Structure 1
């Protein structure tokens, strides 16, 4: 989140900044062993403990039978086993936050969106404003590509991502009106430039790709959901989905197998002066190709504060609460929770 954060938060970032920088000089990625034990079913709750990790994004890795999470503070990737054990998979990418995470098993890679937007509020990073998409080998965690998506903008906030059946990645920038794509070769292409995406604080956030070749993307601040038709002309790709109510505070979204959409909302934005929503998980359903949608079910209030994203697993769907709100409000936490719906 953005916009003149509370002074109390400054000490939190400052205390760990040196550690973040040191992490960038660490040895290359290590093979994760957090899931090296025989596969087991996770319980209703998976509680992880790691020093001030603050994970915001999560994905399920079927090859490890484990979760992979990012870190709003350390800028790394961590494997979380079904019993909550954690082990670093990819060392820090620098003074950045690793946010949206996806596992692309077909191309055997891990994808992550990252940005220094949060860190920049607290410390001079010594680099231009940074947002990017990085890909790592799913088996070895060796880097495949790491591309800048900022386009030289003074303000940039790469936040969440998704990918299509050809492996093209689509990534949101929460403070810009351009939605970008990254090809499998690591080339950046603008998908659409739309003033409805522009934001002063946190706009575009969660994003998913639909098999009928369109994207669903949501704004955090006003809760508007958009359909982006990838087959339409560039100037006619975006339409707003008619909703029964705005999904204010939406962080992560995921399509379910039945075609409905998980929407994870929170009030974390209030810590940075952005409109906040309610800690809840809502399921939206559409019978007209996402011209409109209705609420099918809603879990409110969510039992663990600050939910941000969701991972679909063979054992059920797990919502991540990574204590990002504690970080943004100047507190500290060494745990995070994944709770099954």
Structure 2
């Protein structure tokens, strides 16, 4: 087996320059989301194309985690050690291997798997809460009471799933409409609010957990194409932009009424999506998703989890 360094050099990647980059070798995987388990010391990776959920170690060894035949395209994933659950958003994006006209832009489910065994624990249908409208649930976050909050990129709603798996519409606003992807990345702030990215407008929103009609636009320079968000402590946020193929470091000194872009780094491969913070370092997926929407583009087998430090 080639070393991580050797594979990285074949990809034109220097480990010395960018830290510990982890290659992902899986045919036509097109990873979209990632999560990390501290207990297992592995990353979980979703797939917008094959729907396969896999485990990835720091040496680049990738193996399937679960083989659920109902998965069509897996997007956001979140590992919760407390409940030993991997939460996954399952959608039909219209281009996945298993896409079906009957479910395209309708299917939107949260599925929970045992974090250790991969056995399914529950399934919640969120598309049923928004009938007659396009649905593409995307990212998800968990508050300190065990409630999930889930963005919908094609309809102006945020869903909530409580710890008993009861689903509801948490917030909605017509400002979250427009062409292409709207709401995308989402994180829970320990002071009791959500920070949410709107990709097509390059905006960030602050939404009160207790009063979801209290929606404020965070004053910050435009973050066009903002996808995944990573919160570090209370005052630092990283936004991954697939439009610019850059990863932005933001800081706030006023409880996210406003923020400043402090620094940014380029992704090494096209179309980064999201990432996760592990031991003080950011690990960002380089997903090449633009290839999926280009019928003439060759399909890839190699992707990357890039280490970013600021």
CA RMSD of aligned residues (A): 2.0
Q: Distance in 2 between matches of 1:173 and 1:118?
A: 16
Q: Distance in 2 between matches of 1:113 and 1:323?
A: 20
Shift of 1:120: 7.6
What does residue 339 of structure 1 align with?
A: 306
Q: Distance in 2 between matches of 1:208 and 1:278?
A: 21
Contact 1:192 1:237 in 2 (8 A): no
What does residue 147 of structure 1 align with?
A: 124
What does residue 7 of structure 2 align with?
A: none
Shift of 1:43: 5.7
Shift of 1:63: 2.0
What does residue 180 of structure 1 align with?
A: 159
Structure 1 residues 92 and 322, CA gap change in structure 2 (3 angstroms): farther
Shift of 1:134: 1.1
1:320 and 2:285 aligned: yes
Structure 1 residues 280 and 120, CA gap change in structure 2 (3 angstroms): closer
Q: Distance in 2 between matches of 1:95 and 1:319?
A: 24
Q: Distance in 2 between matches of 1:258 and 1:192?
A: 23
Shift of 1:328: 2.1
Please, which of 46, 50, 64 is the counterpart of residue 22 of structure 2? 46
Shift of 1:48: 1.2
Taking structure 1 as the reference length, what is the TM-score of the superposition?
Answer: 0.79
Please, which of 264, 268, 279 is the counterpart of residue 298 of structure 1? 264
What does residue 81 of structure 1 align with?
A: 57
1:283 and 2:249 aligned: yes
Query: What SS class does the counterpart of residue 303 from structure 1 fall into?
Result: coil
Q: Distance in 1 between matches of 2:68 and 2:62?
A: 15
Q: Bigger relative contact order, structure 1 or 2, given CA contacts below 8 A and separation 6+?
A: 1
Query: What SS class does the counterpart of residue 250 from structure 2 fall into?
Result: strand
Shift of 1:315: 6.6
What does residue 133 of structure 1 align with?
A: 110
1:163 and 2:164 aligned: no
Q: Distance in 2 between matches of 1:94 and 1:189?
A: 23
Structure 1 residues 336 and 92, CA gap change in structure 2 (3 angstroms): farther
Query: What SS class does the counterpart of residue 292 from structure 1 fall into?
Result: coil
Summarize the alignment of residues 222-261 of structure 1 with structure 2, pairs less than 5 Å apart. Answer: 222-232=201-211, 234=212, 236-243=213-220, 245-257=221-233, 259-261=235-237
Summarize the alignment of residues 180-199 of structure 1 with structure 2, pairs less than 5 Å apart. Answer: 180-199=159-178
Q: Distance in 2 between matches of 1:123 and 1:210?
A: 35
How many residues of Structure 1 are paired with residues of Structure 2 in the alignment?
286
Shift of 1:323: 2.1
Structure 1 residues 103 and 121, CA gap change in structure 2 (3 angstroms): closer
Contact 1:75 1:93 in 2 (8 A): no
> In terms of mean alpha carbon deviation, does 122-131 or 309-318 score higher?
122-131
Q: Distance in 1 between matches of 2:208 and 2:261?
A: 23
> In terms of mean alpha carbon deviation, does 278-287 or 310-319 score higher?
310-319
Contact 2:72 2:98 in 1 (8 A): no
Query: What SS class does the counterpart of residue 94 from structure 2 fall into?
Result: helix
Identify, as 1 or 2, the structure richer in strand: 2
Contact 1:205 1:252 in 2 (8 A): yes
Contact 1:117 1:156 in 2 (8 A): no
Q: List gaps (5 residues or longer) in structure 1.
A: 1-41, 267-276
Q: List gaps (5 residues or longer) in structure 2.
A: 1-17
Shift of 1:209: 0.3
What does residue 180 of structure 2 align with?
A: 201
Q: Distance in 1 between matches of 2:82 and 2:248?
A: 29
Taking structure 2 as the reference length, what is the TM-score of the superposition?
Answer: 0.87
Q: Distance in 1 between matches of 2:195 and 2:27?
A: 34
